[in-house]
A and B are shown apart, each in its own frame.
Chain A
Amino acid sequence: MDTFEKHPDLPPPVSEVGVIGWLRKNLFSSPSNSVMTIAALYLLYLAIPPVIKWAFIDADWVGNTRAACTSGGACWVFVGARFEQFMFGFYPQAEHWRVLLTWGIFAGLIGLLIAPRIPGKIWIGSFTLFVFPFIAYNLFHGGVFGLPVVTTSQWGGLMLTLILSTVGIVCALPLGILLALGRRSKMPILKSVCVSYIELWRGVPLITVLFMASVMLPLFLPQGVDFNKLLRALVGIALFQGAYVAEVVRGGLQAIPKGQFEAASSLGLSYAKSMVLIVLPQALKMVIPGLVVTFIELFKDTTLVSIISLLDLLGIVQAGLTDPKWLGMTVEGYVFAGLFYWAFCFGISRYSLHLERRFETGHKR
């Protein structure tokens, strides 16, 4: 054989591609696999049609009162009638625009921050972190520029859930980073302070922290010093969440080779600059999945504030269920609340997957 001929690429056999190939490979590859597939399909057949019937086909959608619900399926009229309350709590209706405006600004800022290739992100970020909270507080609370005051006890529903979780996240992240750095410090006192803090808070359930913040803290404070219940809950959540963030961030810091810090030092960068410019960006990117998990947990854990009678989304739905005019709406109420939480958590988790993929390109060592 003195002539070498390149063999042409042949198309793959049918069993490797197309719908049939996929089905055969994934669902019916063996007898036991086929049995599982058929059993699963049968279960789905049993479960899904009744749910669809209840939620859509037999459901009532229009109306204002309970009397509109006659078909025997889900009574979404309840959710419709209560929707504003679910979103805003007892925030006066005439002032709802303030809440919407604030979230609008916030969404815009976040949009600018996560959009690729926008210059001046440092300034947008600083504005979001340091200026926006004051704007938000003044818009929510009022009392300036002729806006009527709306006390925090009137805040509720989704608005409160979002306040608790965003403030919790924004405060817990820097706290957690500092704690993680402290825990890896060579200074023994600083190190043990951070370790004790983290272990203390991680050993206590959030519900206890919230009780302490709302019931016990006032006992320790001097007479007359009384600060807002919402603020107390926020402080409790941030301190609690900080400990969890710290452990996640520590995992990332440990994964960064010592050589990175040494290279930064040898170039003359101080400890702080090495951390901020070299080590933390890499460590935080690495722990995005872990951070997202803790933040999704926090988002769901904010429901615990209802035990200190702050009415977040779940709390206000529950309160609505006890309304004598709407008795028997339990399933509708919880399904609605559950869907809302799920949609938020799913959205966050998808976004984090997207972030991971974006950071992956080319940064591999």
Chain B
Amino acid sequence: MSEANVNTPAEKPAGEPMIEIIDMHKWYGAFHVLKDINLTVRRGERIVVCGPSGSGKSTMIRCINHLEEHQRGKILVEGVEVTEEVKNIERIRRDVGMVFQHFNLFPHLTVLDNCCLAPIWVNKVPRKEAEAAAMTYLERVKIANQATKFPGQLSGGQQQRVAIARSLCMSPKVMLFDEPTSALDPEMIKEVLDVMTDLAEEGMTMICVTHEMGFARKVADRVIFMDAGQIVEENAPEEFFLNPQNERTKLFLSQILQH
């Protein structure tokens, strides 16, 4: 474990563990997707997860908020174990925000209603307050002027920023990003990464599955490389990119960095 991060600013709090994944395994039917996953994410840490397609990155982060179920091992979020129990799951999902590759905005609701829905129906915030809060988050992702539009009327980059704001409206303690820029046209990637960078600078704990290596270099405390359902390598970004230890990591990096 690389506790001493070379590139981390001094003010970074050596926080207590937010997420602990201990000896976790998962199967889809007979297919062993995740094998012996161990990962600890501390408060304020930014983790970037990369690896070839089908290596289990999405599955791993989806286990954290129980969109997928693991069969062996333990996952703790703020000390609460992720189990079948509805109560635990509800509590964990309130603390864990998620942003998806395909945005998954609700097409029948306006941008503002997309953001207010969960605060109103889950946290029982009065509508006026929820709307005011939503507007401040929409301002933060620089899209407040589109609040009354429907998602279908926005560009991909704008939709993904709305999705981030929607998640933030629940004041999560951790944000999970599952390839948030992979479905975007190149000219829109930056606007989303900028929002994510801002979020990181404000101290949000984040796990990002992404192949944006510039973002990883700039923001990550640790980069994790997965292959065939296992965590193959885990290192500070500098080390990870300049001096990869594992053959598979080297191959992967050469493939994605060659152009």
Query: Which A positions have Cβ atoms within 8 angstroms of B?
Result: 257, 259-260, 262-270, 273, 277-278, 281-282, 285, 362-365
Are the C-beta atoms of B118 and A268 separated by less than 8 Å?
Answer: yes
In the bound complex, residues from chain B placing their C-beta under 8 Å from that of A364 are: 107, 152
In the bound complex, residues from chain A placing their C-beta under 8 Å from that of B108 are: 281-282, 285, 363
Per-residue interface assignment for chain B, residues 162 to 179, with 1 indicating a CB less than 8 Å from any chain A CB and 0 otherwise: 010011001000000000
Are the C-beta atoms of B117 and A267 separated by less than 8 Å?
Answer: yes
A267-B100 in contact given A278-B106, A363-B152 (Cβ < 8 Å): no
In the bound complex, residues from chain B placing their C-beta under 8 Å from that of A265 are: 65, 67, 93
In the bound complex, residues from chain B placing their C-beta under 8 Å from that of A362 are: 149-150, 152-153
A268 to B107, CA, bound (A): 18
A266-B67 in contact given A282-B107, A285-B108, A362-B149 (Cβ < 8 Å): yes
A365 to B106, CA, bound (A): 9
Interface of A is mostly: helix
Q: Which residue of A lies closest to B91 (CB)?
A: A268
Query: What class of interface size applies to chain B in its complex with A?
Result: 20 to 34
Per-residue interface assignment for chain B, residues 89 to 101, with 1 indicating a CB less than 8 Å from any chain A CB and 0 otherwise: 0100110111010
In the bound complex, residues from chain B placing their C-beta under 8 Å from that of A273 are: 121-122
The 8 Å CB contact of B107, one of A264, A269, A365, is: A365
26 A-B residue pairings within 8 Å (CB atoms) = A259-B100, A259-B102, A262-B67, A263-B100, A263-B104, A263-B105, A264-B106, A265-B93, A266-B67, A266-B96, A266-B98, A267-B117, A267-B166, A267-B167, A267-B170, A269-B117, A270-B86, A270-B90, A273-B122, A277-B121, A282-B106, A362-B150, A362-B152, A364-B107, A365-B107, A365-B152
The 8 Å CB contact of B97, one of A266, A270, A281, A363, is: A266
A11 to B153, CA, bound (A): 33
Are the C-beta atoms of A262 and B104 separated by less than 8 Å?
Answer: yes
Min CB distance, A108 to chain B, in Å?
27
In the bound complex, residues from chain B placing their C-beta under 8 Å from that of A269 are: 117-118, 121-122
Query: Which B positions have Cβ atoms within 8 angstroms of A?
Result: 65, 67, 86, 90, 93-94, 96-98, 100, 102, 104-108, 117-118, 121-122, 149-150, 152-153, 163, 166-167, 170
A360 to B13, CA, bound (A): 50
Are the C-beta atoms of A363 and B166 separated by less than 8 Å?
Answer: no
Are the C-beta atoms of A260 and B106 separated by less than 8 Å?
Answer: yes
In the bound complex, residues from chain A placing their C-beta under 8 Å from that of B170 are: 267-268
Sample of 11 more A-B contacts, CB < 8 Å, known A260-B106, A268-B94, A285-B108: A259-B104, A263-B163, A266-B98, A267-B93, A267-B117, A267-B166, A268-B90, A268-B122, A270-B86, A278-B106, A362-B153
In the bound complex, residues from chain B placing their C-beta under 8 Å from that of A365 are: 107, 152
In the bound complex, residues from chain A placing their C-beta under 8 Å from that of B163 are: 263
Min CB distance, A276 to chain B, in Å?
9
Min CB distance, B38 to chain A, in Å?
24
Most chain A C-beta atoms within 10 Å of own C-beta, residue among B94, B121, B150: B121
In the bound complex, residues from chain B placing their C-beta under 8 Å from that of A278 are: 106, 117
A56 to B254, CA, bound (A): 86
A55 to B166, CA, bound (A): 63
Min CB distance, B183 to chain A, in Å?
11
Are the C-beta atoms of B107 and A363 separated by less than 8 Å?
Answer: yes
Most chain B C-beta atoms within 10 Å of own C-beta, residue among A264, A268, A273: A268
A269 to B90, CA, bound (A): 8
Min CB distance, A56 to chain B, in Å?
48
Most chain B C-beta atoms within 10 Å of own C-beta, residue among A265, A267, A282: A267
A277 to B106, CA, bound (A): 10
Min CB distance, A259 to chain B, in Å?
4
A263 to B105, CA, bound (A): 8
Which 5 A-B residue pairings sit nearest by Cβ, starting from the closest?
A263-B104, A267-B118, A259-B104, A362-B150, A266-B98
A277 to B118, CA, bound (A): 10
Are the C-beta atoms of B100 and A262 separated by less than 8 Å?
Answer: yes
A273 to B152, CA, bound (A): 23
In the bound complex, residues from chain A placing their C-beta under 8 Å from that of B117 are: 267, 269, 277-278
Are the C-beta atoms of B104 and A268 separated by less than 8 Å?
Answer: no
Min CB distance, A18 to chain B, in Å?
36
Q: Which residue of B lies closest to A259 (CB)?
A: B104
A363 to B106, CA, bound (A): 9
In the bound complex, residues from chain B placing their C-beta under 8 Å from that of A281 are: 108
Q: Which residue of B lies closest to A276 (CB)?
A: B121
Q: Which residue of B lies closest to A263 (CB)?
A: B104
Q: Which residue of B lies closest to A267 (CB)?
A: B118
Q: Which residue of A lies closest to B169 (CB)?
A: A267
A153 to B98, CA, bound (A): 60
Q: Which residue of B lies closest to A256 (CB)?
A: B107
Most chain A C-beta atoms within 10 Å of own C-beta, residue among B86, B117, B149, B163: B117
Min CB distance, A363 to chain B, in Å?
5
A110 to B197, CA, bound (A): 51
In the bound complex, residues from chain B placing their C-beta under 8 Å from that of A260 are: 104, 106
A235 to B183, CA, bound (A): 50
Are the C-beta atoms of B150 and A363 separated by less than 8 Å?
Answer: yes
Q: Which residue of A lies closest to B120 (CB)?
A: A277
A269 to B124, CA, bound (A): 12
A364 to B117, CA, bound (A): 20
A267 to B121, CA, bound (A): 10
